[in-house]
């Protein structure tokens, strides 16, 4: 059996950690019905997810990827986290989480229950 390189280990670790992070987010955040908790923690989870991704990007760079990867990863993560925080709304009536895909207007009513957001 072939020995795994450090880069292989970082790659497999990324898959495991990212998968567990996604599962934990689903179980403790998206399935939860506490709207105040979700509103309070959603921005923090977006930032933490971005930092976790950048941590693994750094580990990939330290183990062989070109440092230029950071030139793409850092601004991409920043923009994705910002848009996710800015464009995600939570309905106070039913708890539905909605992502506004239209960057130039806001969502006024919940698409699930019709309540004013």
Q: Could you give the 3-state DSSP secondary structure of residue 102? A: coil
Residues that bind Zn ion (CB under 5 A): 91, 93-94, 96, 110, 112-113, 115
Dist. CA 31–CA 77, nearest whole Å: 25
CB nearer Zn ion, residue 51 or residue 113: 113
Q: How far apart are CB 49 and Zn ion at their closest, in Å?
A: 25
Least separation in angstroms between residue 92's CB and Zn ion is 8
Are 39 and 89 within 8 A, CB to CB?
A: no
Nearer to Zn ion, 64 or 111 (CB): 111
């Amino acid at each position: 059996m072939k020995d795994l390189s450090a880069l292989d280990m970082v790659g497999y670790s990324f898959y495991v950690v990212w998968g567990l992070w996604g599962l934990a987010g689903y179980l403790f955040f998206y399935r939860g019905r506490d709207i105040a908790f979700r509103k309070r923690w959603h921005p923090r989870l977006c930032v933490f997810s971005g930092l976790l991704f950048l941590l693994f990007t750094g580990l990939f760079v330290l183990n062989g990827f070109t440092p230029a990867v950071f030139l793409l990863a850092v601004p991409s993560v920043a923009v994705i986290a910002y848009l996710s925080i800015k464009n995600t709304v939570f309905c106070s009536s039913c708890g539905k989480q909605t992502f506004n895909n239209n960057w130039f207007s806001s969502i006024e009513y919940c698409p699930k229950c019709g309540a004013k957001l």
